[in-house]
Amino acid sequence: MATKKPAARAKTKKTATSASPRDEIGNGGELHQRAGGDSPPMTTAQGAPVEDDNNSLRAGDRGPTLMADHAFREKIFHFDHERIPERVVHARGYGAHGVFEAYESLADITRASIFATKGKKTETFVRFSTVAGNLGSPDLARDVRGFATKFYTDEGNWDLVGNNMPVFFIQDAVKFPDLVHSVKEEPDRGFPQAQSAHDTFWDFASLMPESTHMTLWQMSDRAIPRSLRMMEGFGVHTFRFINAAGVSSFVKFHWKPVLGMQSVVWNEAVKINGADPDFHRRDLFDAISAGDLPAWELGVQVFDDAFADSFEFDVLDATKLIPEELIPVRPIGKMTLNRLVDNVFAEIEQVAFMTQNVPPGIDFSNDPLLQGRNFSYLDTQLKRLGSTNFSQLPVNAPKCPVAHFQRDGHMQTSPQAGRAAYEPNSFTGADRGPREAGPEGQVPFAAEVSGETRRIRAASFADHYSQARQFWISQTPVEQDHIVASYAFELGKCEVPAIRERMVANLRNVDEALASGIADKLGMPLPAASKPAAPVVQTEPSPALSLLGNAKETFQGRKLGLLVGDGAKATAVKRLTKAVEKAGGTVEVIAVKVGGATLSDGSLLAAKQAVAGAPSVLYDTVAVLAGVEGEQALADEPPARDFLTDAFAHFKVIGLGSGTDALVAAAGLTGKLDDACLAVDTAKDTTAYVARIAGPRHWERDLTA
């Protein structure tokens, strides 16, 4: 993709006029109607008319958000206080402690001490989460995943509060309450829970074309990851690195899982939520307990103002990313999660992340979504945790010395000595208290700010479809099929036909095949394309955006479900188990009854699960070993038949030992087995099977035969 904009577009970067979402016309007409007719004018809670509910007040068209914006402050204040005590979003979470180790000194680009020397280690705490569901919702909802990391640096806590997707639904934080209200349970009925497949979400998304790019990610396989250990993480926003000389660089943060990326298919996700709604948290717990420690590399994309000005899209727009082909991700360290929490409530539920927590050497850009998050999070934590002293809770407390004049407050636990509780004071010694750090402290970057204070959306934010198109054309055909099916499923749950039509009309600006494929599955005519606010740029594919295209050839960290019947060959069971474990995977033994199965040598093999409670959706691959005695018993067991049928339908590699013909027949698979259904009787068979399960699913499988 070219890095230079056409001259006409480059000029608008600094001189843009308003390009509010209400100026974009969709298939359904005006997206944001002014007051009139049946619609009363919008007001604040105090009754003051609201001039613009889509843009926060900022200095200039690309400047920072201003504290003078009382309407935004009131809106986000109310939103932050809507739930007690559960998080409004990201309620369903799990996490663990870890350590981050820097690969090299980054002193040339940042003075942050965490990156000062090669090999420097810093304690961390990570909380993974879904966004839309409540605390009791299932793990495998189709949703964005939160990926929030607290670094306990020696210069204060750094909270990198991101997601498993690099972009977001909205460009301005003033729309965040509306986004969340749309995706949450509809208020007149209290459902659906933990899903976006309903009218209010797609009504909002179809009226906010800036959400289009993010909905492509949301409808992709990235929204249903196989494991928390097998998903990427992103800081989403553009931040700044500042070095000791005060020189600033822009930076975007990326987490890359050491195990590589894996996902499940939608039918699996639905069934996993029924069989084990705690699937992701159980997987993380089991991995750390077994010493199979999850790890991610932290990488950065670092760039300067010259690149930012030459890039086709605005780097302050959170609905956009920088393709890795333009700026490769530079690995700068590795985080390993090595310790489970002692108490879920005390740590996972009470941990407080705030984007504004950054150490010296890391600073903010004027991204309006980031600016709003910085404004909002402190208020959120006060509401959730009930006291301004939440930073004294162990999971939130910095590991470095803390000294200030903040006193008292609800649940104050820190004995604060000294006579003076103010600054300046003229006392000496312990009575004097701390003093300003000066240049050694958190010195903000001296960015020049000018322009009129206006509620405005820069014209450089107006292109809502080009990067959505780039994401689409970067997917493999299998992934594209999944995206089409996901849109069709979600939009098919909308009761209002106009919402479906409006969304498909927007998607015609992304790709005709995408839109027509969805329309065909919905059984609706293809609507006329909506009118984009800016021309759609014909970007090149970015291979880094494909999950399947970047999956690792490994079985490490994954699980075999081994269904064993009475009389199964003991040597085959032992050989297969040993081979899978050598490949870095785990084996879970399943039998008709949880008591286990008697092997050919007369030994009793204990089972971890009874097949009725262990559907194949819980495993990355399955194998069946049964002898003469157990063959018919497995074939007569309905859950055993489903075990095999589902594994086949989910494109999984299947291992079949002798004595499984009756089960294959009972499962309706006679004559349908393909070259991903492998024998596992001999040593040679086992070697071939273990090599194959390191690769992808058998996406070529014909399920219509």
What CATH number corresponds to the domain at position 239? 2.40.180.10
Per-residue pLDDT tens for 609-647? 999 999 999 999 999 999 888 899 999 999 999 999 999
Answer yes or no: are the C-beta atoms of 247 and 305 closer than 8 Å: no
Mean pLDDT calculated for residue range 493-511: 98
* 23 occurs within a structural domain: no
* 169 occurs within a structural domain: yes
* 87 occurs within a structural domain: yes
Domain end (from 392, 419, 437): 392
Q: How many domains does the chain have?
A: 2
- Sign of CA pseudo-dihedral 639, 640, 645, 648: positive
Secondary structure of the chain: what % helix, strand, coil (to 5)?
35, 20, 50
pLDDT at 420 over 80: yes
pLDDT at 20 over 60: no
* 669 occurs within a structural domain: yes
Residue range(s) defining the domain that contains residue 606: 553-693
DSSP 103-158: SS--TTT---GGGSSTT-EEEEEEEEEESSS-TTS-TT-SS-EEEEEEEEEBTEEE
Phi-psi region at 438: left, alpha or beta (left = phi > 0; alpha = psi -120 to 50): left
Question: Which range has the worst mean pLDDT, 77-86, 215-224, 244-253, 429-438?
Answer: 77-86
* 459 occurs within a structural domain: no
Per-residue pLDDT tens for 271-297? 999 999 999 999 999 999 999 999 999
Question: Which range has the worst mean pLDDT, 6-10, 77-81, 563-567, 693-697?
Answer: 6-10
pLDDT at 338 over 70: yes
Q: Report the run of H or E that residue 503 belongs to, with start and end.
A: helix 497-507
Question: Which range has the worst mean pLDDT, 391-395, 444-448, 575-579?
Answer: 444-448
Angle between helices 497-507 and 512-522 (to 10 degrees): 160
Domain end (from 374, 392, 410): 392
CATH number (domain holding residue 559): 3.40.50.880
Q: Is the peptide bond before 696 cis (omega within 30 degrees of 0)?
A: no
Task: From 10, 6, 18, select the one nearest 451 (Cα to Cα).
Answer: 18
Question: Which range has the worst mean pLDDT, 50-59, 366-375, 550-559, 575-584?
Answer: 50-59
Per-residue pLDDT tens for 351-383? 999 999 999 999 999 999 999 999 999 989 998
pLDDT at 8 over 60: no
Report d(CA 97, CA 38) in Å as an integer: 54
Domain end (from 335, 357, 392): 392
* 15 occurs within a structural domain: no
* 490 occurs within a structural domain: no
* 26 occurs within a structural domain: no
Question: What local confidence, expressed as pLDDT, does residue 83 receive?
Answer: 66
Q: Is the peptide bond before 85 cis (omega within 30 degrees of 0)?
A: yes
Q: Which residues are catalytic?
A: 90, 163
If DSSP codes are grouped into helix, strand and coil, which group holds residue 239?
strand
Question: pTM, whole model, 2 decimals?
Answer: 0.90
Question: What local confidence, expressed as pLDDT, does residue 37 receive?
Answer: 60
Answer yes or no: are the C-beta atoms of 586 and 617 closer than 8 Å: no
